[in-house]
Structures are given as C-alpha cells and as structure tokens.
Amino acid sequence: MTLGKRIKTARERLKPHLTQAAVGKHFGVSAQAVSGWERDDTVPDLNKIAPLARLLRVPAIWLLEGGSPVPAPDSIETTIEQLTPSQRAMLNAVARSILKETDEVA
C-alpha cells in the first residue's frame, strides 16, 4: 500500500469521516492538494507527516512505512507493537526523562 493509499484509508476509516477539505484546512492546503497526496501525485511535506498521523490517529511509522493491519484509532498498543527495538528504547528513555522531570518539580 502506498503512502497516498494509507492516508486515504486512515482518513476514511475515522468516525465521523474526515473530508479531504477538512484535512486540507487543517494544513492550510486545498482539498485538491490532499487529493493529490492520496493519488500519489504529490507527497505532503516531511514536516506534515507527524501532525498528519496525529490528525488521522495512526502511528507516523505506519503512515510512512505501512504494514498490516491498519491501526485502530487511538490504539497505543498498536503503536508500541509497531516500534522497532531501538524506537522502543528511545520511547523508554523519553518516558524516564519525563518522569524524572516530574519528580524534580514535585
């Protein structure tokens, strides 16, 4: 499945469905630009991938690399399962850092 097909699949499976116009408005682009992404005529700027993944409620890694099945919206388990061992280690390091900062503030 291509990036464009993943964008379209993720957008259409949300309840309520997000329109291309709504996605475009969120990013300050036209519905035609979003349609171009979904047809693989163009690709979103790299700096839009993480926000697009959040908007579509899928892991950014899935949006970029694919895999099966399509992750369920807001499923942290699916997101973590898709991480590589090095990505999991990084996530653990970030979580420890946040917890440490929280302890220092308290």
Q: State pLDDT tens for residues 44-102.
A: 998 899 999 999 988 888 888 887 666 666 554 555 666 678 877 777 787 787 777 76
Kindly report the pTM of this predicted structure.
0.66
Place of tokens 């630009």: 33
- Domains recognised in the chain with CATH numbers: 3-105 (1.10.260.40)
Answer whether 40's CB lies under 8 Å from 4's CB: yes
